[in-house]
Structure 1
């Protein structure tokens, strides 16, 4: 094999990290559009349906801090491969094993996805060390694309067959991705050094101030994202008089501009030591969108666009920050697990708290004020976490 061919083949195998991203959301986003059918068929009330939608996030929170143990034991590539097989089996079986199987399967789906959530950004940092932010932007674009495809196809598949197949079919995607990923598991994986990249003995990320800044940023951007995804249509109907059909269009626009924001923000994150410009640019639009919904709800489509840009950029910024602030593969894996554990705990609580506040106060003003305050805290955390690391 000639050197150019070998190089092309290596680049192709390296790019399979992006393919894995395609499989990290369909098993989740396919549920929402058919949730009423699931509830009707299995006699689940609205509260149970809401918990079913939140369960994967809780599984993320529980499993994420433990992923580094599997990574150390089996290696990152093999851990991802096994998680894809588990994801495939749990996705395919959960619709056909009754109510108990649905709950257990959904929790297992969340735990399997958590492995990819934690490890794939670390693998990207290793494989694209000189272009971490740009590669992370592509990675999140693949995540968004996979999520959108599943959301669009869920109802047509359910109409053509039933809701069970509309969930199970994504197990086939996970199998396909596992086959594509398999070559990466066959080569020996280099053992990372016991020290960090700067030669300093590792210290638990739970004891590092910078790790808590990164974790706080990740958690707050996740919280606002799931507030938008779960409640934006309801907020628009209640405060802006927007029609139900239009809210669906606005939510789609929110996701499209999230993709644009995610692909654009790496330009502001490419500085090797200082990412303040990128983190501020990603955070401020989220604050503006929440304030806009509060004071000018009739401009809902504007706030959907602004919020989408901020949320897409915020996810890329958070994942890039994890890679850029982690000193070495082991520490980055632990930081990723910590940030996602706390982040998805907040994300799971956010929509519930929003609903409770709205129910107690009888309107959305208090809720939007509280979440706008949290978005302001995200701006502050981003400013602190994005500082020039050469001064630390």
Structure 2
């Protein structure tokens, strides 16, 4: 009984550690969008330069994600995640400095810390909770999205009322990051060494798998949309006559709806034999939201809700695919590294391109039409990414292996 109680306590502490770590993976990014006009005025930054604020972390994700599985083999996933949380904490603290250098240097460190967390969390969930991938993925996506929503909603009020203005609004999240580091320390102390069989080939990415590329494209396209929304939608709303505070709360609404939607996804995942139809429908909802902003921008409240419905589900699906399409924890880490490397490189183009199209065009119709194209591409990719299993490189021939239920239902897949 004591052994069972100890094991349960250890698992509960691990789950709490994972969830609090997840809570730090978006808040330092989503709080930037509502403050863009203040950063522009105080620091004299252009629209293109402002777009880099949420593009730099994405470039860090793309550059560092392929290295994470190899580093996890060398240092252990728990220790690597702990180190990543320390780097993230340092980045938020540096960005508290009210200067261009502090703003951008802190953002780079934040991106480096989040990059490791993005890759490691799906792998740890697949390893330690293989029968609860959908449920725990939804839980950490919900926490991540919920805290991100709060960050966007309170950014302007904190900037208005706190000493330091926008720098305090961005830097106050260091408190949550410190809590995550402290809560993760027990995992770093008890981290098991990786067995030799896990070390061999664990870091090899499945570049030869068409399914892996579909999962990567789904991750990249939905991230493209998410980071455009959190970076530019407050400015889009402000240009249509909404105040800065109201624009921040509209972004908050988008993320709250997304969180609510993400809570419903695990049930749908258990009910569906595969995820193709679910991913296609959710991507189509995103398309409808972008199209609505093009043809009826005055209904911003409605389109925020629609985008939240589609975006929340697509985020959970993109994260769940990293575990569901993998054979094992090592495969999940390799697929996660590939999907987040190439996917976030694609997503990094989003905020900058969206801002440049506005600079060179008239109003926001052109940039929003681009988002309709991105959502349409995501619909097409959903038909492939929602089914099958990626063979881990080094564990057999590269390619796609149908999962057990799918082999029975569709031998020719």
TM (normalized to structure 1)?
0.88
**Whole-Å separation in 2 of the counterparts to 1:3 and 1:34:** 51
1:177-326 matches, cutoff 5 A: 177-189=180-192, 191=194, 194=197, 204-235=205-236, 243-244=242-243, 247-270=247-270, 274-326=274-326
**Are residues 25 and 297 of structure 1, via their aligned partners in 2, closer, same or farther at CA, if it must alter by over 3 Å?**
closer
Instruction: Provide Cα deviations, 1:303-332, integer angstroms capped at 9, x if missing partner.
Output: 221111110100000000011112222222
1:160 is aligned, of 159, 162, 170, to: 162
Q: Which residue of 2 aligns with 1:172?
A: 175
**Are 1:121 and 1:319, in contact at CA under 8 Å, matched by a contact in 2?**
yes
State the secondary structure of the residue aligned to 2:12. Answer: helix
**Are 1:131 and 1:270, in contact at CA under 8 Å, matched by a contact in 2?**
no
Higher mean C-alpha displacement, 299-308 vs 68-77: 299-308
Q: Which residue of 2 aligns with 1:354?
A: 354
Gaps of 5+ in 2: 389-401
Gaps of 5+ in 1: none
**Whole-Å separation in 2 of the counterparts to 1:228 and 1:39:** 18
**Whole-Å separation in 2 of the counterparts to 1:270 and 1:193:** 34
1:1-392 matches, cutoff 5 A: 2-15=2-15, 16-96=17-97, 99-158=100-159, 159-162=161-164, 163-189=166-192, 191=194, 194=197, 204-235=205-236, 243-244=242-243, 247-270=247-270, 274-388=274-388, 389=402, 390=407, 391=411, 392=413
**Are residues 64 and 5 of structure 1, via their aligned partners in 2, closer, same or farther at CA, if it must alter by over 3 Å?**
same
**Are residues 376 and 121 of structure 1, via their aligned partners in 2, closer, same or farther at CA, if it must alter by over 3 Å?**
same
**Whole-Å separation in 1 of the counterparts to 2:75 and 2:12:** 23
**Whole-Å separation in 2 of the counterparts to 1:68 and 1:284:** 33
**Are residues 271 and 79 of structure 1, via their aligned partners in 2, closer, same or farther at CA, if it must alter by over 3 Å?**
farther
**Are residues 297 and 91 of structure 1, via their aligned partners in 2, closer, same or farther at CA, if it must alter by over 3 Å?**
closer
How many aligned positions are there? Answer: 388
State the secondary structure of the residue aligned to 1:137. Answer: helix
**Are residues 356 and 91 of structure 1, via their aligned partners in 2, closer, same or farther at CA, if it must alter by over 3 Å?**
closer
**Are 1:265 and 1:316, in contact at CA under 8 Å, matched by a contact in 2?**
yes
Higher mean C-alpha displacement, 326-335 vs 228-237: 228-237
Higher mean C-alpha displacement, 157-166 vs 14-23: 157-166
Instruction: Provide Cα deviations, 1:224-249, integer angstroms capped at 9, x if missing partner.
Output: 222333333454566xx564465444
**Whole-Å separation in 2 of the counterparts to 1:214 and 1:376:** 16
**Are residues 201 and 67 of structure 1, via their aligned partners in 2, closer, same or farther at CA, if it must alter by over 3 Å?**
closer
Q: CA deviation at 1:204?
A: 3.5
**Whole-Å separation in 2 of the counterparts to 1:36 and 1:201:** 45
**Are residues 304 and 188 of structure 1, via their aligned partners in 2, closer, same or farther at CA, if it must alter by over 3 Å?**
closer
Instruction: Provide Cα deviations, 1:81-122, integer angstroms capped at 9, x if missing partner.
Output: 111112222322343395434322221111011111110121
**Whole-Å separation in 1 of the counterparts to 2:249 and 2:306:** 15
State the secondary structure of the residue aligned to 1:206. Answer: coil
**Are 1:258 and 1:312, in contact at CA under 8 Å, matched by a contact in 2?**
yes
**Whole-Å separation in 2 of the counterparts to 1:93 and 1:242:** 34
Q: CA deviation at 1:272?
A: 8.5
**Are residues 44 and 338 of structure 1, via their aligned partners in 2, closer, same or farther at CA, if it must alter by over 3 Å?**
same
State the secondary structure of the residue aligned to 1:205. Answer: coil
Higher mean C-alpha displacement, 305-314 vs 5-14: 5-14
Kindly report the root-mean-square deviation, in angstroms, between the aligned alpha carbons of the 2 structures.
Answer: 3.0
State the secondary structure of the residue aligned to 2:132. Answer: helix
Higher mean C-alpha displacement, 254-263 vs 44-53: 44-53
State the secondary structure of the residue aligned to 1:326. Answer: coil
**Are residues 161 and 235 of structure 1, via their aligned partners in 2, closer, same or farther at CA, if it must alter by over 3 Å?**
closer
**Are 2:122 and 2:323, in contact at CA under 8 Å, matched by a contact in 1?**
yes
Q: CA deviation at 1:387?
A: 2.8
State the secondary structure of the residue aligned to 1:327. Answer: coil
TM (normalized to structure 2)?
0.83
**Are 1:25 and 1:143, in contact at CA under 8 Å, matched by a contact in 2?**
yes
Higher mean C-alpha displacement, 164-173 vs 73-82: 164-173
Q: CA deviation at 1:167?
A: 3.3
Q: Which residue of 1 aligns with 2:398?
A: none
State the secondary structure of the residue aligned to 2:79. Answer: helix
